[in-house]
């Protein structure tokens, strides 16, 4: 029995569409490569130069000094009990413990060795290389 008006795609047509989609993907995907790493660096810079800097300045305004190195950035979320104990702590100054985009805590020192007030930085993607560090003193 012969069917009339058969509709459908041949194997050649399907293969042609797959090849075209593959060629388009091959052109587009390389443009997105590296963007996620660039976004992480930008997020860390925003944290260091804006978000955490603002929280530290508010802490300093309330208490007259920045948290000590031993207190660290935890002093922004919970009131420190170690010396110097803040007398006018009005926190929390941030909602949660700050982690860099790679999931590691930011490094903090006060007084800083690069700045008088504090040093704040992320070790970046590769902890062992200094050239990818994101810092607040450059």
CATH number assigned to the domain comprising residue 87: 3.30.700.10
Question: Does the structure show a pLDDT above 60 at 1?
Answer: no
Please state which of the ranges 11-25, 54-68, 85-99, 114-128 shows the lowest mean pLDDT: 11-25
pLDDT at 123: 92
Both structure tokens of 18: 């797959």
Q: Say if residue 23 is exposed, middle or buried (CB neighbours under 10 Å; 0-12, 13-18, 19+).
A: exposed
Q: Is residue 88 in a domain?
A: yes
Average pLDDT over the chain reads 88
Q: Is residue 29 in a domain?
A: no
From first CA to last CA, the distance across the chain in angstroms is: 81
**Number of structural domains, the chain?**
1
Q: Is residue 105 in a domain?
A: yes
**Strand intervals (E) in the chain:** 107-109, 119-122, 134-135
pLDDT at 3: 61
Q: What is the mean pLDDT of residues 14-29?
A: 84
Q: Is residue 46 in a domain?
A: yes
In which domain, by residue range, is 65 found?
41-135
Q: Is residue 64 in a domain?
A: yes
Question: What is the SS3 assignment for 105?
Answer: strand
What CA–CA distance (Å, rounded) separates 97 from 16? 53
Q: Is residue 16 in a domain?
A: no
Q: Is residue 62 in a domain?
A: yes
What CA–CA distance (Å, rounded) separates 34 from 126? 15
pLDDT at 37: 83
Q: Is residue 28 in a domain?
A: no
Q: How many CB atoms lie within 10 A of CB 65?
A: 13
């Amino acid at each position: 029995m012969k069917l009339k008006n058969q509709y459908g795609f041949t194997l050649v047509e399907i293969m042609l569409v797959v090849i075209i989609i593959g060629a388009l993907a091959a052109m587009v995907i390389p443009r997105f490569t590296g963007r996620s790493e660039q976004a992480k660096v930008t997020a860390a810079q925003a944290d260091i130069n804006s978000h955490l800097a603002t929280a530290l300045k508010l802490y300093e305004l309330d208490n007259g000094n920045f948290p000590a190195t031993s207190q660290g950035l935890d002093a922004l979320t919970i009131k420190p009990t170690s010396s110097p104990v803040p007398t006018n702590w009005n926190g929390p100054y941030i909602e949660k413990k700050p982690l860099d985009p790679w999931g590691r805590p930011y490094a903090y020192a006060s007084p800083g060795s690069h700045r008088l007030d504090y040093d704040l930085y992320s070790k970046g993607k590769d902890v062992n290389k200094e050239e990818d560090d994101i810092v607040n003193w450059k």
